[in-house]
Copies of this chain bind each other. A is one copy, B any other.
Amino acid sequence: MALRTVDLNADMGEGFGAYRIGDDAALLDIVTSANVACGFHGGDPEIMHETMRMAYTRKVTIGAHPGFPDLWGFGRRVIPFTCGEIERLVAYQIGAAQAIAAYAGCHVSYVKIHGALANLAEHDEGVASAIITATKAVDASLSVVAIAYSALERLAREQGLRVHTEIFADRAYAEDGHLLSRKEDGAVLHDPALIAERVVRMVEARAIETVKGNMLETQIDTICVHGDSAHALDIARTVRRSLEGAGIMLKSPHESTYYVV
């Protein structure tokens, strides 16, 4: 019987200049994939390089993590851009990340979009297509991490990109498989044990567990965790330990190709 594996991903390298957010070194001991900010919503060439080096030495797979050009808002606000402009924004950031990775002796394996832009791509086909177009134009061998049940997941698959479907460890799901809006009560889960148990249930069932307890079938390639507080790190560690305890192996989908080279 094939061994069940899953990836753990987290955003990192989201500081700027003298600023830092989250404990990236600690997080890199937990996750198998690192979404590295590309200098627009956070990150700068120094931080990108440091983060990629740290990831590389820990054999953590590296992804580009583009966002809106909005340092002030940390990429969490919708900045009005046309889909064409989003294509250029995303392409630019992927290229910058690839170059820093090349300089650091490693490489970028995937693209995961950040914040408000990722939220748009969950429902807006135009934005999702823009991300796909940019990714394919820059490097069609990159895979895309896409939220389960999102427009981006569906369209990226249709348009021939390799897709890694993502669930969130600490976010509640509505009955349609979409993330419950953060404005709703209970949208964010806080208890490490409950979070970890739910993650294991979802990975084992290959399904999203909704707030009402329904299980919606989906591929699950990667689980998003956070590292921006001691509590977040605790959740991430508990999720990892529970998955391993259930016999599920933590492994990036890119791992084999990555380290053979």
Chain A residues in the interface with B (C-beta under 8 A):
15-21, 39, 42, 44-46, 48-49, 69, 71-74, 76-80, 85, 87-89, 91-100, 102-103, 134, 137-139
Say yes or no: A96-B92 contact (C-beta < 8 A), given A17-B74, A74-B17, A80-B78. yes
The answer, among B18, B73, B88, for a CB contact under 8 Å with A45, is: B88
Number of copies: 4
Contact across chains for A99 and B91 when beta carbons are under 8 A apart: yes
Cβ–Cβ < 8 Å partners of A18 in chain B: 21, 42, 73-74, 76
Provide the bound-state CA to CA distance between A100 and B87, in Å. Answer: 9
- Tell me, rounded to whole Å, the shortest Cβ–Cβ distance linking A74 to chain B: 4
Q: Which residue of B is nearest A74, CB measured?
A: B18
Check A46/B103 contact, CB under 8 A, given A16-B19, A16-B72, A79-B79.
no
Q: Report which residue of A85, A87, A93, A96 has the largest number of chain B beta carbons within 10 angstroms of its beta carbon.
A: A96
How many angstroms between the C-alpha atoms of A55 and B258 in the bound complex? Answer: 36
Determine whether the beta carbon of B138 is less than 8 Å from that of A103. yes
Task: Look across to chain B and name the residue whose beta carbon is closest to the beta carbon of A86.
Answer: B45
Q: Inside 8 A of A76's CB, which chain B residues have their CB?
A: 18
Residues of B within 8 A of A139 (CB): 102
